[in-house]
């Protein structure tokens, strides 16, 4: 009997994967549990195994092909068996979209263009019971699931045509719009021809991971009004505590202290822990802290669930385990989704100050720079203290400057209170 080998769905938001390597060739024998091919998602790589014995009859998707989830990649069966006709596994080019029919007179009027001030008002407006948000004459009918999905994929709900009751946008409309955007041809632009520089090699395509990073962060930067706030934190006492604890056998890192302070502060400032799509706001009472981890091929963000409920030693153990899995390529997809806030630390690279781009689906991100010995005024004299700068990048639709400054100030107070960390370490 012929069995179809389909592209798996590694994560809830994964819609397509790239086949990087085939380990079997057409005609090769296949046993249940054999690794057939390897795929790459936007977050990790994984192997796809066979669930049936037989022979690899036909490969429909070659190495390098981008294949939608659940599409047939190959067939396994008995030698000589006839395989069914199947469409190509790769994503087809989109069919031309017909012009939409004129809306009936009773339909919701089109959303007028809004000014930046009105956009801010839309971001803070509470959703109505019907799933629509109002701002002046603007009204977007959208279900909560659809609005959540639109925020996750970076789509403006006002650009989506609804097919639900009374033109309401439902989740399938968001998925269709996201799929259309993914396969839409790149607009033709007039490029400036630049002669190759001496010694320049032939161009190579970006990896799947780098393309997804480029797409998600470009969408975040261009669709989210970023602003940044920076504070200088005196970590002299904190580093002294770290050395004291290390000599006693407890090896905590600066990142551990930052994660602990940030998690507790997010519980204190739930608005910074929330998210918005520009129409609705989703408050979050649980703190799921993302930690940016650099890999040779890009960047992933493992998630520490309920970080505000963990002691600093537990945060340390969880962060170490997640980072190790990420670097080994064994981090489950579920541990890379659902973060409510992200911390990016470049302090180990001698960086004095930097700002980060907000991870889509969040309201802010914290950039942690190096701890640098600095001469500062204390009273009428000077003293050398170790100063570390923290920069908050925040979504101005949800977080105002005052809120961002108070949030950073609360993190600073926690980091400068080494006595509180000492007490927590002693109680652990």
* pLDDT tens-digit map of 250-306: 899 999 999 999 999 999 999 999 999 888 899 888 999 999 999 887 888 999 999
| Rounded average pLDDT over 106-129 | 36
- Cα–Cα distances in angstroms (integers) from residue 29 to residues 6, 57, 150, 236, 388, in the given order: 18, 9, 44, 64, 59
| Rounded average pLDDT over 149-157 | 74
Supply the pLDDT for residue 158.
Answer: 78
The whole-angstrom separation of Cα 312 and Cα 202 is 48
pLDDT confidence tier of residue 167, bands split at 50, 70 and 90: confident
Supply the pLDDT for residue 72.
Answer: 92
The whole-angstrom separation of Cα 63 and Cα 73 is 11
* Beta strands per DSSP E along 127-215: 132-135, 138-141
Query: What's the token pair of residue 243?
Result: 């050395």
Known catalytic residue at 316? no
Q: What domains does the chain contain, in order, with CATH numbers?
A: 3-77 (2.40.50.100), 208-427 (3.30.559.10)
Summarize pLDDT for 181-232 with one digit per residue, the tens: 655 554 444 445 567 777 788 888 888 778 878 888 898 999 999 999 999 9
Taking the model in full, what pTM does it have?
Answer: 0.61
Pairing of strands 289-291, 341-345: parallel
The whole-angstrom separation of Cα 307 and Cα 287 is 6
Query: Beta partners for 387?
Result: 234, 372
The whole-angstrom separation of Cα 283 and Cα 272 is 9
Question: Looking at residue 157, what DSSP letter applies?
Answer: G
Query: What's the token pair of residue 269?
Result: 């400032």
SS3 244: helix
Instruction: Determine which helix (DSSP H) or strand (DSSP E) holds 151, and give its type and residue range.
Output: helix 144-153
pLDDT confidence tier of residue 120, bands split at 50, 70 and 90: very low
Catalytic residue among 3, 226, 316, 396: 396
Query: What's the token pair of residue 36?
Result: 């057939």
């Amino acid at each position: 009997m012929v069995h179809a080998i389909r592209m798996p769905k590694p994560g809830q938001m994964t819609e397509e994967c790239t086949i990087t390597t085939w380990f079997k060739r057409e005609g090769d024998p296949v046993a249940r549990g054999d690794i057939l091919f390897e795929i790459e998602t936007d977050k990790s790589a994984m192997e796809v195994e066979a669930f049936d014995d037989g022979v690899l009859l036909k490969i429909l998707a070659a190495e390098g092909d981008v294949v939608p989830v659940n599409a047939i990649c190959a067939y396994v069966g008995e030698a000589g068996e006839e395989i069914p006709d199947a469409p190509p596994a790769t994503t087809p080019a989109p069919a031309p979209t017909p012009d939409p029919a004129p809306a009936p007179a009773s339909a919701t009027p089109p959303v007028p263009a809004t000014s930046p001030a009105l956009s801010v008002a839309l971001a803070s407006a509470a959703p109505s019971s019907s799933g629509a948000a109002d701002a002046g004459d603007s009204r977007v009918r959208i279900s909560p699931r659809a609005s959540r999905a639109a925020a996750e994929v970076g789509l403006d709900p006002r650009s989506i045509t609804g097919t639900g009751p009374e033109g309401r946008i439902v989740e399938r409309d968001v998925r269709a719009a996201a799929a259309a955007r993914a396969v839409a041809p790149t607009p033709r632009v007039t490029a400036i021809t630049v002669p190759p520089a001496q010694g320049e090699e032939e161009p190579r395509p970006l990896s799947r991971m780098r393309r997804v990073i480029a797409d998600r962060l470009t969408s975040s930067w261009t669709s989210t009004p970023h602003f940044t706030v920076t504070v200088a934190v005196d970590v002299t006492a904190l580093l002294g505590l770290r050395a004291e604890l290390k000599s006693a056998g407890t090896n905590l890192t600066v990142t551990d202290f930052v994660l602990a302070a940030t998690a507790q502060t997010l519980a204190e400032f739930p608005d910074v822990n929330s998210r918005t799509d520009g129409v609705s706001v989703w408050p979050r009472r649980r703190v799921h802290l993302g930690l940016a981890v650099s890999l040779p091929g890009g960047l992933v963000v493992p998630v520490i669930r309920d970080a505000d409920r963990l002691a600093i030693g537990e945060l340390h153990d969880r962060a170490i385990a997640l980072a190790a899995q990420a670097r080994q390529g064994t981090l489950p997809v579920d541990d890379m989704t659902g973060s409510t806030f992200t911390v990016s630390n470049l302090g180990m690279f001698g960086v004095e100050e930097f700002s980060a781009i907000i991870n889509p689906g969040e309201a802010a991100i914290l950039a942690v720079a190096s701890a640098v010995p600095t001469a500062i005024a204390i009273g009428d004299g000077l003293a050398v203290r170790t100063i570390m700068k923290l920069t908050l990048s925040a979504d101005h639709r949800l977080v105002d400057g005052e809120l961002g400054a108070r949030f950073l100030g609360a993190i600073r107070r926690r980091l400068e209170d080494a006595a509180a960390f000492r007490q927590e370490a002693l109680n652990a």
